[in-house]
Amino acid sequence: MIPIRDNIRPRRFPLVNYAFIGLNILIFLYQVTLGPEGALDFVYTFGVIPENITNVLAGDLFVLGPASLFPLISATFLHGGWLHLIGNMLYLWVFGDNIEDCLGSINYLMAYVLMGVVASLGHIISNPLSPIPLIGASGAIAGVLGAYFILYPWAKVVALIPLGFFFTFVEIPAMIYLLFWFLLQIFNSVLAQVGDGAQMVAWWAHVGGFISGLVVGIVIKKLGLRVC
């Protein structure tokens, strides 16, 4: 199911959400200009390498300094290809504007970064010694989806569903759409773990990000911090 739009229109211009989308696109375009080898070096420098972060958290933090954890943030703005980028930005476009509208721009900015970090940690916990870099905004966006699940459960999501050679549009309650999405991430996470352990997609980052978004949504509601 590919989300096309929802039926909730934000009351304020989603400046931060558009800035995130623009920044992701600009950084990817820069990656493209580096060529294959340069782009690979760029990813290994600013992507999250679980093995490195595990070593840092295990005792090297005082030697290397907090800057050694910067990839936990920078990796959120890197992508491995056009489809990777477009897919992530589509989800951010559909769901992110409402979360910014509800949290306020500053809170949304901080929550997005925090959820991206938690998502990366979720991936690291699942495979702490992996030398393969993790990149992509999907973990942070999973957090956006989790917050949306709490804050807009009865919104309607228009989704494109492929049926063989045909496509159809279906309007689905956000709660159902996002619950199905989350269960699919858990299923793929478990499947990857019981398989050969290799993960082309960081499923546990999606799970961790979504759970962090649920927490953000619940805290916002409990403390009465929502402005929507």
Q: In what order do the strands lie in the sheet with 2-6?
A: 2-6, 156-163, 166-173
pLDDT at 198 over 70: no
Q: 3-state SS string over the chain?
A: CEEEEECCCCCCCCHHHHHHHHHHHHHHHHHHHCHHHHHHHHHHHHCECHHHHHHHHHHHHHHHCHHHHCHHHHHHHCCCCHHHHHHHHHHHHHHHHHHHHHHCHHHHHHHHHHHHHHHHHHHHHHCCCCCCCECCCHHHHHHHHHHHHHHCCCCEEEEEEEECCEEEEEEEEHHHHHHHHHHHHHHHHHHHHHCCCCCCCCHHHHHHHHHHHHHHHHHHHHCCCCCC
Name the residue range of residue 98's domain.
2-222
Considering the domain boundaries, does residue 20 fall inside one? yes
The region of weakest confidence among 34-43, 67-76, 127-136, 189-198 is 189-198
Prediction pTM value: 0.91
**Cβ(3)–Cβ(95) below 8 Å:** yes
As to burial, measured by CB atoms within 10 angstroms (0-12 exposed, 13-18 middle, 19+ buried), residue 213 is buried
The region of weakest confidence among 125-139, 156-170, 173-187 is 156-170
Mean pLDDT of 52-69: 72
Of 103, 128, 135, 115, residue with least CA distance to 208: 115
pLDDT at 221: 85
pLDDT at 197 over 60: no
pLDDT at 123: 93
Q: Inter-axis angle of helices 82-103 and 203-222, to 10 degrees?
A: 10
pLDDT band at residue 61 under the 50/70/90 scheme: low
pLDDT band at residue 166 under the 50/70/90 scheme: confident
pLDDT at 224 over 90: no
Considering the domain boundaries, does residue 227 fall inside one? no
pLDDT at 150: 95
Question: Structural domain tally of the chain?
Answer: 1
Considering the domain boundaries, does residue 205 fall inside one? yes
Please count the other Cβ atoms lying within 10 Å of the Cβ belonging to residue 80. 16
Considering the domain boundaries, does residue 43 fall inside one? yes
Considering the domain boundaries, does residue 228 fall inside one? no
Average pLDDT, the chain: 90
Q: What tokens does 227 get?
A: 């402005």
Q: What tokens does 76 get?
A: 């959120």
Residue type, 185: Q
- The CATH number linked to 135 is 1.20.1540.10
pLDDT at 65: 58
